[in-house]
Chain A
Amino acid sequence: MKITPIIGLEVHVELKTKSKMFCGCRADHFHVKPNTHTCPVCLGLPGALPVPNKKACEWCLKLGLALNCSINEQSFFERKNYFYPDLVKGYQITQFQKPFAINGYLNIEGHKIRINRAHMEEDTGKSIHVDGSTLLDFNRSGVPLVEIVSEPDIQSAEQAKKYLNKLQQIIRYIGISDADIEKGSMRCEPTVNVCLDDKFYTPLVEIKNVASLTGVMNAINYEIKRQIDAYQSDGITKNSSNKTTRGWDADKNQTFLQREKEGSADYRYFPEPDIPPIIFNKEQIEEIRQSLPVLPDEKIAQYKLLGLSDYDAFILADTKESAEIFDKIISIESSREFAKFSANLLTGPLKTIKIDINKINPDYFKKLFDHKLDFSSTVIKQLILDSYQTGLDPLEIAKEKNLFQVSDTNTLEQFAKEVIEANPKAVEDYHQNPLAIGFLVGQLMKVSKGSANPQTGKEILEKLLK
């Protein structure tokens, strides 16, 4: 039997604007004392009116452009009417007929995942269930959310994960959200069904409460298998009224039925009369497009052109911060050799520590590059690390610690004689087996505190031991 999973993702991203979507309250709500970031507007008090946050709208547009979307020059907000205790107005202000951004796509390893829309809306409050009662916290009520809806073009859990990773990367690149799934600033709801033998489609299932990337993958995989099993036992296929909603239980590693007949939900959308249509003219859209940073895919391509390995290019372009650090360094010298040299340092010794771009001094990279023949690679790694941590010139450090490679034969002979004297056993071994010279070279490096030019040292040792 041929099995083709059909997966679409609905992703909600909380924008990190200073204020909420429709009022001046602070938008941050993670670990904040409940109901302290509220006002008449986000509490939905009688008479209160929403005034859209311009920055949030621009950021939504920005994301739309980054996802290759077309922008609706005229769009408007609508009311989505439904009851829930943490929905203060009895409706959510969202976009329906005319979202800011439509018809985009993301390339995932050569596979095009179409994006239906990226629209602006407001978050709801939070219900906290404690000991049989429910507490309501409205700090989150009215926080700006962008909803990104993909077409059902994703064909595996692995691909879903890659799509989410990429989305996350782009969102962080343009700096509009932390996009942290664990903290809830990025939430994901997969819709899954399966096509069997290119003919039969299992009923659609929307999965809720997935709280991690692994959860997304596990839930999708579980659901694919469950749907195939279900089809094989009951033969039921998709129709317009049998879409269901299932929750993800991460402990039991399985989905469970939450709601049936999703098709009958009627949100009675209508244009929000409290907010006039939002108009972005061509110049404004172009201005926002210009404000976009170079995005990860383009960055990787740029780095490869500089001669970086796939690995280095990928690692350096991974975050906007790391790319900026690299770009800052290579701004001082444009040669491919310098780029490769610097990339190696960043993805090597400097990878293990958290780098502050302000503490990066491109001059120091350049100095080391210019003197790279004077040091062993080990010393270069040590020098860049020390220089970063102390802020001192690496050549000064080298001078002070006497780390310049010694190629001077007299000095090296002194070291070599010391090594030969101290290691009679190794010398004996060498006479049995010339390959054992390695150990003696190592000792020589040690004695010289790493400053010896290993090649010259080796030659001198060989000469002395003849």
Chain B
Amino acid sequence: MTDLNKLTLSEARKGLKSKKFTPTDLVQSCLDRIKSFDKKLNAFVTLCDEEALKQAKTADISLPLGGIPIAIKDNYLTKGIRTTASSLVLDEYIAQYDATAMKKLKNAGAIIIGKTNLDAWAHGSSTETSDYGPTLNPWNTDHLPGGSSGGSAAAMAADEAIVSVGSETAGSIRQPAAWCGVVGFKPTYGRVSRYGIIAMKSSTDSPGPLCKTVDDAATLLEIMSGHDPYDATSIEEDSWKKPEIRQNLNGLKIGLPLSYFPSQIQPEVKKSILEAAETLKKLGAQILELPDVLDPKYSIAVYTILQRSEVSSNLARFDGIRYGHDRSFFGTEAKRRIMLGTYSLSAGYYDAYYLKAQKVRTLICQDFDKQFQKVDAIIGPVSPTTALKLGATKGQAMFGELQDMLVEPSSIAGLPGISIPCGFDKTALPIGFQIMAPQKREDLVYQIAKIFEDNTDYHTKRPKL
């Protein structure tokens, strides 16, 4: 009964149901793993070992996630558990209520094993700006895991939990999933309630799963999704349901946007994505080159202005009166963003920055509408490179935005997307590719990802720790 921690969700469920092992065995196995390796990896900010073991004893395994240890990004409010957003401002903050997505996961029987590290306030794509120190990439600890959901992605790659959740505002699920060689499923904006997720950029924040397989991620999305009366931007639909699995991709048109292969792209990344396209073609899809997709570089400016503006307002409530620590506990990155956002919203600058950015956002949405008249889905690289080295963010104020360039447009347009493993570079760092579809078309994303995964074995590879 060794290595239970390495199981996928569906494997773990089977084992629990057939009584091969108990929830306690499963939780203990993950905790052992964390105790052996997390001092180094630093994927967790807070561990809930005692409570998890206690819950394991009474777990109801008939529930969809009964007895399953889950790692939660530390920007999800978890009642009674410290919730920091990896910022010292909230170092001592105990959440007073559960995020809606959290509540749904708990109701499904999931056991919180711990809270995972992120870039402080989710501001970044490296997990290096966490006030609790960087998380390291399990594939090579000299490298970054990506971010902001770097803790959850690393926890999955290192088998420290069975499933995990994160949140994406512009790449924060897909990019760390790609860099850590796991699956990250970013749903349509509004598909999963934002209620109880510490707000970053409210207009694109999308909570979602990071898992070891496409199917696991889809199962979590089924549980987390559904209309929430506490979130006015939540889609007024019941929970999303997995569609039928396709036997082939006949009749499906998949677009390959040329502008998603900028000159600075790492050649191995480009090669892997083209190979993935080839695989999809063999499975029956028609691959169409899209020559006129808006250059994703425009998204950087749009995202930067809108994100900074919203951040400057969203972080105002941490005013030193209520949450233990005052504003001097904000890190450099948060301060920089607050200042830039305050500036871009100021009288006399609003039209030139915020309003202009909103207009370009509309153009980006329209561009996707146009492309989706030609193709059913779009694929491309998630990140121009594999995981960069620790310290890569130093002196790079725009690090995150440049890293996330290829996921920003679809985030800005609120589209669903997934990152799945599709190769390795010569230093054995994982490569991921993304599948994007029109709003609310998670079914297409899932079907393409699932058939790709079933016909490849990249997702079965794990780093040697």
Give me the interface of A with B, judged by CB distance under 8 Å.
40-41, 44-52, 79, 81, 83, 85, 88-91, 136, 266, 268-270, 273-276
Interface membership of B233, Cβ < 8 A: yes
* Contact A49–B354 (Cβ < 8 Å): no
Instruction: Report A-chain residues with C-beta under 8 Å of the C-beta of B313.
Output: 79, 81, 90-91, 268, 270
Given the known A-B contacts A45-B96, A81-B313, A83-B319, are A275 and B199 also in contact in the complex, defined by CB atoms under 8 Å?
Answer: no
Instruction: Report B-chain residues with C-beta under 8 Å of the C-beta of A266.
Output: 346-347
Question: Measured between alpha carbons, how far is A52 from B232 in the docked complex, in Å?
Answer: 8
**Closest 6 A-B residue pairs measured CB to CB?**
A90-B316, A268-B345, A273-B203, A273-B202, A47-B196, A46-B198
Interface membership of B399, Cβ < 8 A: no
Question: Measured between alpha carbons, how far is A268 from B323 in the docked complex, in Å?
Answer: 24
* Contact B321–A47 (Cβ < 8 Å): no
Instruction: Report B-chain residues with C-beta under 8 Å of the C-beta of A51.
Output: 229-232
Residue ID in chain B nearest A84 by CB atoms: B319
Interface string of B175-205 (1 = CB under 8 A from A): 0000000000000000000111111011100
Question: Measured between alpha carbons, how far is A157 from B99 in the docked complex, in Å?
Answer: 52
Interface membership of B378, Cβ < 8 A: no
Question: Measured between alpha carbons, how far is A380 from B390 in the docked complex, in Å?
Answer: 97
Question: Measured between alpha carbons, how far is A79 from B310 in the docked complex, in Å?
Answer: 10
Interface membership of B8, Cβ < 8 A: no
Interface membership of B317, Cβ < 8 A: yes
Instruction: Report B-chain residues with C-beta under 8 Å of the C-beta of A83.
Output: 316, 319
Interface membership of B97, Cβ < 8 A: yes
* Contact A40–B233 (Cβ < 8 Å): no
* Contact A274–B316 (Cβ < 8 Å): no
* Contact A48–B319 (Cβ < 8 Å): no
Of listed B93, B198, B230, residue having the most chain A CB within 10 A: B230
Instruction: Report A-chain residues with C-beta under 8 Å of the C-beta of B350.
Output: 268-270
Shortest C-beta distance, B4 to chain A (Å), equals 32
Interface string of B230-244 (1 = CB under 8 A from A): 111100000000000
Partner of B77, one of A47, A81, A269: A47
Residue ID in chain A nearest B358 by CB atoms: A271
* Contact B317–A47 (Cβ < 8 Å): no
Given the known A-B contacts A268-B346, A273-B203, are A49 and B232 also in contact in the complex, defined by CB atoms under 8 Å?
Answer: yes
* Contact A81–B316 (Cβ < 8 Å): yes
Residue ID in chain A nearest B77 by CB atoms: A47
User: By DSSP majority rule, is chain A's interface helix, strand, loop, or mixed?
Assistant: loop
Shortest C-beta distance, A337 to chain B (Å), equals 57
* Contact A50–B232 (Cβ < 8 Å): yes
Question: Measured between alpha carbons, how far is A349 from B193 in the docked complex, in Å?
Answer: 62
Question: Measured between alpha carbons, how far is A88 from B229 in the docked complex, in Å?
Answer: 22
Residue ID in chain A nearest B190 by CB atoms: A276
Q: Can you list 25 A-B pairs, Cβ within 8 angstroms, ordered by A?
A: A40-B97, A46-B77, A46-B93, A46-B323, A47-B77, A47-B195, A49-B199, A50-B232, A51-B232, A79-B313, A81-B316, A83-B316, A89-B316, A268-B342, A268-B347, A268-B350, A269-B350, A270-B310, A270-B345, A270-B354, A273-B201, A274-B199, A275-B232, A275-B233, A276-B233
Given the known A-B contacts A40-B97, A273-B310, A274-B233, are A49 and B317 also in contact in the complex, defined by CB atoms under 8 Å?
Answer: no
Instruction: Report A-chain residues with C-beta under 8 Å of the C-beta of B201.
Output: 273
Shortest C-beta distance, B348 to chain A (Å), equals 9
| Given A85-B319, A90-B316, A91-B316, 6 extra CB contacts under 8 A | A47-B199, A81-B312, A90-B313, A268-B313, A268-B342, A273-B233
Interface membership of B90, Cβ < 8 A: yes
Interface string of B92-110 (1 = CB under 8 A from A): 0101110100000000000
Question: Measured between alpha carbons, how far is A274 from B93 in the docked complex, in Å?
Answer: 23
Shortest C-beta distance, B247 to chain A (Å), equals 39
Partner of B83, one of A40, A46, A79, A81: A46
Interface membership of B309, Cβ < 8 A: yes
* Contact B96–A89 (Cβ < 8 Å): no
Instruction: Report B-chain residues with C-beta under 8 Å of the C-beta of A90.
Output: 313, 315-317, 319
Instruction: Report A-chain residues with C-beta under 8 Å of the C-beta of B232.
Output: 49-52, 274-276
User: By DSSP majority rule, is chain B's interface helix, strand, loop, or mixed?
Assistant: loop
Instruction: Report A-chain residues with C-beta under 8 Å of the C-beta of B90.
Output: 46
Within 8 A of A (CB), among B228-281: 229-233
* Contact A44–B229 (Cβ < 8 Å): no
Instruction: Report A-chain residues with C-beta under 8 Å of the C-beta of B316.
Output: 81, 83, 89-91
Partner of A81, one of B229, B230, B345: B345
Instruction: Report A-chain residues with C-beta under 8 Å of the C-beta of B96.
Output: 40, 45
Residue ID in chain A nearest B231 by CB atoms: A49
Interface string of B319-347 (1 = CB under 8 A from A): 10111000000000000000000100111
Within 8 A of A (CB), among B296-314: 309-310, 312-313
Question: Measured between alpha carbons, how far is A88 from B314 in the docked complex, in Å?
Answer: 11
Question: Measured between alpha carbons, how far is A276 from B232 in the docked complex, in Å?
Answer: 7
Shortest C-beta distance, A146 to chain B (Å), equals 20
Instruction: Report A-chain residues with C-beta under 8 Å of the C-beta of B318.
Output: 46
Instruction: Report A-chain residues with C-beta under 8 Å of the C-beta of B319.
Output: 83, 85, 90
Question: Measured between alpha carbons, how far is A286 from B229 in the docked complex, in Å?
Answer: 27
Residue ID in chain B nearest A50 by CB atoms: B232
Of listed A46, A50, A81, residue having the most chain B CB within 10 A: A46
Of listed B97, B99, B346, residue having the most chain A CB within 10 A: B97
Question: Measured between alpha carbons, how far is A89 from B312 in the docked complex, in Å?
Answer: 12
Instruction: Report B-chain residues with C-beta under 8 Å of the C-beta of A41.
Output: 230
* Contact A49–B345 (Cβ < 8 Å): no
Shortest C-beta distance, B313 to chain A (Å), equals 5
Instruction: Report A-chain residues with C-beta under 8 Å of the C-beta of B342.
Output: 268
Instruction: Report A-chain residues with C-beta under 8 Å of the C-beta of B93.
Output: 46
Within 8 A of A (CB), among B74-127: 77, 83, 85, 90, 93, 95-97, 99
Given the known A-B contacts A52-B232, A270-B350, are A88 and B195 also in contact in the complex, defined by CB atoms under 8 Å?
Answer: no
Residue ID in chain A nearest B194 by CB atoms: A49
Question: Measured between alpha carbons, how far is A91 from B197 in the docked complex, in Å?
Answer: 19
Residue ID in chain B nearest A88 by CB atoms: B317
Shortest C-beta distance, A252 to chain B (Å), equals 32
Question: Measured between alpha carbons, how far is A279 from B21 in the docked complex, in Å?
Answer: 55
Shortest C-beta distance, B329 to chain A (Å), equals 14
Question: Measured between alpha carbons, how far is A49 from B230 in the docked complex, in Å?
Answer: 7
Shortest C-beta distance, B362 to chain A (Å), equals 13
Residue ID in chain B nearest A278 by CB atoms: B232
Instruction: Report A-chain residues with C-beta under 8 Å of the C-beta of B194.
Output: 47, 49
* Contact A48–B310 (Cβ < 8 Å): no
Question: Measured between alpha carbons, how far is A47 from B83 in the docked complex, in Å?
Answer: 11
Question: Measured between alpha carbons, how far is A90 from B323 in the docked complex, in Å?
Answer: 13
Residue ID in chain B nearest A275 by CB atoms: B232
Question: Measured between alpha carbons, how far is A269 from B309 in the docked complex, in Å?
Answer: 10
Instruction: Report B-chain residues with C-beta under 8 Å of the C-beta of A268.
Output: 312-313, 342, 345-347, 350
Instruction: Report B-chain residues with C-beta under 8 Å of the C-beta of A85.
Output: 319, 321
Question: Measured between alpha carbons, how far is A439 from B274 in the docked complex, in Å?
Answer: 118
Instruction: Report B-chain residues with C-beta under 8 Å of the C-beta of A81.
Output: 312-313, 316, 345
Instruction: Report B-chain residues with C-beta under 8 Å of the C-beta of A270.
Output: 309-310, 313, 345, 350, 354
* Contact B197–A47 (Cβ < 8 Å): yes
Question: Measured between alpha carbons, how far is A282 from B195 in the docked complex, in Å?
Answer: 32
Question: Measured between alpha carbons, how far is A41 from B231 in the docked complex, in Å?
Answer: 11
* Contact B202–A274 (Cβ < 8 Å): yes
Question: Measured between alpha carbons, how far is A85 from B199 in the docked complex, in Å?
Answer: 20
Of listed B198, B232, B233, B309, residue having the most chain A CB within 10 A: B232
Residue ID in chain A nearest B350 by CB atoms: A270
Question: Measured between alpha carbons, how far is A89 from B322 in the docked complex, in Å?
Answer: 11
